[in-house]
Chains A and B, each alone.
Chain A
Amino acid sequence: MNKITKFAAVFMALCVSASAMALAGCEQGGSSGTDDTSKLNSSSKVDTSGVKEIYYLNFKPEISDKYEEIAKQYEKETGIKVKVSTAASGEYEKTLSTQMANADTAPTIFQVNGPVGYENWKDYCADLSGTDFYANLSDKSLAIKSGDGVYGVPYAVEGYGIIYNNAIMDKYFKSSKKSTSYKDMSEINNFKKLKEVVEDMTKIKDELGIKGVFGSTSLKKGDDWRWQTHLMDLPLYYEFKDGDSSTITKCLDASELQFKYADNFKGIFDLYTDNSCTEKNQLGSKTVDESMSEFALGNVAMVQNGNWAWDPISKTKGNVVKEDDIKYLPIYTGVDGEESQGLCVGTENYLAINSKADPAKQQASIDFLEWLFSSDYGKKAVVNDLGFIAPFTTFSEKERPENPLAKEVLAWMEKDGVSSVEWTFQGIPSEHWKEDFGASLLEYVQGQKEWNKVVEDAKSSWKSEVSLKAE
């Protein structure tokens, strides 16, 4: 082979490898000139007659086709085309980064996943404080605010806790072999009682026809968010609870994590893994889906997850869980006074308007959202098709989702003397922290790390992540 061509080939091969890295974000485009002062206002409207199309980058793949229908209806009513595209699961940030780079492809409506996501996109979020979309929000504290501005409005409230299959629980309460005195799930209102019941159930699991009380504590990388984020919420919530302002803000501002409730976390986490249907050393390869199907097939009585889990459960082939049997229990961790604790209720779904888009398009986008969450057609679609628990005053008592878990969330939210736990985890400094904590938990489960070390690492990692953020 000719030397020059050979080296040229090698050089090109190297260039390909290097440019593949760079290509991820490399769509050239002209920058758009609008500055951040643009503020949307429902009372003094910008003329939107010239707008033909707005663009919504949807976060939830499971309902993408529902959005298509809604968009069609909106076009019929107003003549404005709503282009909806959906990022693949787990790819939202990446898709958003590439599309935002180009003024022609940039979405006018997009989603940020909380205060930390907002940090990343703050240059692109328009101020929504003057819009009806924000005014209709039933609990204003849920929105993402910065200074006087409102930059993200939540559109769906979600809740999680310990989901249990009441059919199996009934079987247990009626069993002659049980050694506890409880007769009903409603009696279980703190960690001590939960632990008694769970451990007793494990003793007689063969009679109950289950393989374990809890579904697999899925610790596969990328499937460990139920523990490193969701379960972690409880110690965070209690740690930052004192005082007036929201625990999320306090958590976000905290330069250090005390992890005061580490033992409580350990208690519930051990309970999950000691009474699981899967051996501890195999948890590292289990996924959330597997865990949900174990529950759906009746192999386990309980599983920690949120209202979004109804879909995978009901769609599992051979699902034995009846709609009336699926119930929630708050995650009890043994904190004083937890008898009045409810589910963890919050949201990670905030809608934002692209402040760098044409002002008329921004206005048209907000019009669409107001229509979606307040017109009759829109509300019906939100409740029936999208299945959201929408946190807006425009929704009446009757306009509620059919999903049994969502109904349960609402029931828990309205229960007297019970207060929900905020999603304090949104103040966790970075994804990096969560990944490290999840890995620590896995090592702990496998017996390769002492619990003290897990706590220490969580604290030191928190400190270093905060300092990296501060730069």
Chain B
Amino acid sequence: MQKSIKRWFPVFVLPTVIAFIISFLAPFAMGIYLSFTKFTTMTDAKFVGFSNYIKAFNDSGFVDALWFTVKFTIVSVITINVIAFLLAMLLTKGLRGTNGFRTIFFMPNLIGGIVLGYIWLMIINGVLSFAGLSITYDASYGFWGLVILMNWQLIGYMMIIYIAGIQNVSPDLLEAADIDGATSFQKLIKITIPQVMPSVTICTFLTLTNSFKLFDQNLALTAGAPGRQTQMLALDIYNTFYGRVGYQGVGQAKAVVFFIIVAAIALTQLYLTKRKEVES
């Protein structure tokens, strides 16, 4: 049995491998190739070497967008995870209506990004209109608007993951700690948090990559206004494609750089948080 599985393994894997190549690897390779060319459509690409990359980094918009994205990501990763974890703690205490609360907190995640962006645009502009302003008045309004929006959308989802983690914390350990006279803060730091590290890994990974790649919400909420000051990387790439004649290749080069950054950050983060995971 074992042997025949080994022998026939390529045949069974083949359909998936083909699908993977067609839909992931091939476009990915083509994307990298296109970043070295000048093109209007896929079929008339002309090789231009590194000039697209040079243009991409000379574009101040790209660097500004990168900084804005980094700032946004740091703030939202911290706020989302802290709040989601606190909510998860609260909703594993066996309060009345726990299930109802969990559902309600989870629901924003089911709404699409564009719709969410417009809803929050209405709310934020509605509030700011008391001061006679709108969200495009200052870049910091857009920044905090995006942070609030992102928190509202992702907290519920992360909360569910943390709840699952917290429920898996061994009651034996907690009971032993109680007998040893540990305070609840000590229990949290010494037992619960180390035990839920796998959840922390996956939650930081998800929030990090989602914040970094944010597009729909950015487009709907501010579209980069005022000016390009609240433009994040993905939106900048998108706008590069059609902002200037012949800039498709530059947009593609930016997309490749974007991929490398996201991959580097995500892998580093995984490596760091995984070290903290403990076997129970």
Contact = CB atoms under 8 A, between A and B. Distances in A.
Interface of A: 1, 7, 10, 12-19, 21-32, 93-94, 97-98, 100-102, 116, 119-121, 123-124, 219-222, 279, 281-285, 430-432, 435-436, 439-440, 442-443, 446, 448, 465, 468-469
Contacts of A281: 132-134, 137
Given A12-B24, A100-B41, A442-B227, 11 more contacts: A19-B28, A19-B31, A31-B43, A97-B41, A431-B242, A431-B243, A431-B244, A440-B227, A442-B136, A442-B226, A469-B245
Contacts of A7: 270
B213 interface: yes
A32 B42 CA distance: 12
25 contacts: A14-B259, A14-B263, A17-B262, A18-B256, A19-B24, A21-B237, A21-B255, A22-B31, A28-B26, A94-B242, A97-B40, A124-B40, A220-B225, A221-B222, A221-B223, A279-B132, A281-B133, A284-B137, A285-B134, A432-B243, A435-B239, A439-B228, A443-B227, A446-B137, A468-B244
A370 to B, nearest CB: 28
Contacts of B266: 10, 14
B134 A284 contact: yes
A221 B224 contact: yes
A29 B43 contact: yes
A435 B61 CA distance: 12
Contacts of B125: 282, 285
Interface residues of B, number: 55
A13 B40 CA distance: 28
B129 interface: yes
A101 B44 CA distance: 8
A59 to B, nearest CB: 15
A279 B244 CA distance: 33
Interface string B212-253: 010000000011111110000000010101111110100010
Contact of A284 (B39, B135, B243): B135
B41 A25 contact: yes
A455 to B, nearest CB: 16
A102 B43 CA distance: 8
A1 B31 contact: no
A27 B26 CA distance: 11
A340 to B, nearest CB: 35
Contacts of A465: 244
Give the 3 A-B CB pairs with smallest separation, nearest first: A22-B31, A284-B136, A439-B227
B27 A469 contact: no
A26 B245 contact: no
Contact of A19 (B27, B39, B133, B137): B27
B24 A284 contact: no
Contacts of B136: 219-221, 284-285, 442
Interface of B: 23-28, 30-31, 34, 39-44, 55, 121, 125, 129, 132-137, 198, 205, 209, 213, 222-228, 237, 239, 241-246, 248, 252, 255-256, 258-259, 262-263, 266-267, 270
Contact of A123 (B40, B129, B258): B40
A161 to B, nearest CB: 27
Nearest to A106: B41
A162 to B, nearest CB: 25
Contacts of B31: 18-19, 21-22, 26
Contacts of B209: 13-14, 17
Contacts of B213: 17
Contacts of B137: 281, 284, 446
Contacts of B243: 430-432, 435
Nearest to B129: A282
A221 B225 contact: yes
Query: Which of B31, B40, B252, B262 has most A Cβ within 10 Å?
Result: B40
A469 B246 CA distance: 8
A124 B132 CA distance: 49
Contacts of A121: 40
Contact of A119 (B226, B245, B255): B245
Nearest to B136: A284
Nearest to A23: B27
A127 to B, nearest CB: 18
B157 to A, nearest CB: 15
Contact of B23 (A19, A430, A436): A19
A439 B225 contact: yes
Contacts of B28: 15, 18-19, 22
Contact of B258 (A21, A448, A468): A21
Contact of B34 (A22, A279, A430): A22
Given A1-B198, A468-B244, A22 B27 contact: yes
B41 A18 contact: no
A121 B243 CA distance: 15
Contacts of B42: 25-29, 101
Contacts of B39: 25
A27 B141 CA distance: 39
Nearest to A447: B137
Nearest to A25: B42
Nearest to A457: B227
A168 to B, nearest CB: 26
B24 A16 contact: yes
Given A17-B259, A21-B255, A10 B270 contact: yes
B73 to A, nearest CB: 14
Contacts of B41: 25, 97-98, 100-101
A27 B22 CA distance: 11
Contacts of B132: 279, 281-282
